[in-house]
Amino acid sequence: YITFKSSFINPYLTSKAPTTIFTASPSNAPVTVIPPVDPPSLPPTGSPRTDQPSKLPTGVPSHAPTRGPTFIPSVRPTLLPTNSPTEGLGACIKSRYTPWDELENTNRNAAAILTYDECSWDYPGGSPIEQISWTLLSSAQQQAAASLGYEEESWDCWQNHFSDYFWSELAEVGVQQCYLALGWSQASWDGFASEPDTGLLAYNELSNAQKDAATCLCYGQATWDFERLGPDFDGSFCGITAAPAPTPAPANRPCVAPTIFDIECVETRFTEWNSIGSSNQALAGNLGYRQRTWNDFARMNPVELVSFSSLNSTQQSAAQGLGFNEDSWECWNHHYADYSWSDLAETFVQDCWAALGYTQDLWDNDGQLAVDNLFYAQLNDDERWGAECVCYYQSIWDQDEMGFNFDASFCV
């Protein structure tokens, strides 16, 4: 706010009126008039002298309001800063959006120190290192990030998007309003309320205000949508206008969003029926399981062909009671079986199924593959990788039976 100094002026201190001095006794001589002085030598009598105004100001002005500023803005302030992120929050680092295969060796080595590999680098936003603010990086990681061109402001905005900050710290750096515009509150930020649905929206589904908020947090459309670096990656948000060079075809396995490997295994599901307790048996029963269908993965329970969102409320409650959430159900129990081919891409597991040999035509028409008749030990490295990234590990793939030769070490 703008503060104003008082403009009160004491008229007695600026008076130009002459001062008259009388003689001690009457005289026929005219009174001597002394020329006025400025300021007067003595204050006039009969007038109060105070440091405070005689009356308090009224709440309503005596005249029409001026054009000067008021305590309440005449136009509602915007939620977002007017400057682009690069002006106050660090410059965008263009090399970060160069595909792994095209990185110079020095940059690739620096990225490796930051725990990147090809997959986590080529999916900006997918590496755990990007969940860490600059001050919590090790000195070696800070040096590696600095060699890529980062400093604290640019790292925390373009890499971390301030996600590692406390709510009060968001206000200190001027981006709390950006998160508010995306539906966050202190309660949801601190984990005491549900996260806003904006995180589930594609960039083009955001409102204009939400897109501005995303920009304020150093997201471009491609990074918001978690796109893979390559010819189709739009780097215009970072000032990358030249058409990127074609990305070489991957030599071995395709790349998948690394966050898919962060889905926690539900240990109860891979524990033998007689060891899960009566309460869990009752929950499993609500999902249609019995001892044989629970223990023997060759005896598929039809519920495993149903996505979490398609379960009824009783089934969802039972699944949650067993330790599942939507993500873990889809991977560990459902394996994305009833997803469309495009849904697989949106969930970042289309590459996993492609590694097993699926194409859109085969997937959409329930085509059969040669790998369907192979044991896990017969799969090649790419196929094993594809199987595991949709939560098929050896004993699950081979449809082993718990209590006999089932190996649950993948879940321990």
Per-residue pLDDT band at 3 (split at 50, 70, 90): very low
Give me the sign of the Cα torsion angle 129, 135, 136, 141. Answer: positive
Q: Give Rg (Cα) of the chain.
A: 36
pLDDT of residue 237: 92
pLDDT of residue 255: 55
186 near 176, Cβ under 8 Å?
no
> What burial letters (b/e) apply to 140-163, b meaning 16+ CB within 10 Å?
ebbebbeebbbeebbbbbbbbbbb
User: Which of 162, 132, 163, 126 lies closest to 145 in space, CA to CA?
Assistant: 132
Residue 5 confidence (pLDDT) above 50: no
Retrieve residue 407's tokens.
Answer: 């190996």
Q: 3-state class of 321 per DSSP?
A: helix
Residue 299 confidence (pLDDT) above 60: yes
> For the whole prediction, is pTM greater than 0.75?
no
349 near 389, Cβ under 8 Å?
yes
Q: pLDDT above 90 covers what percent of the chain? A: 51
Q: Which residue has the tokens 């629970």?
A: 294
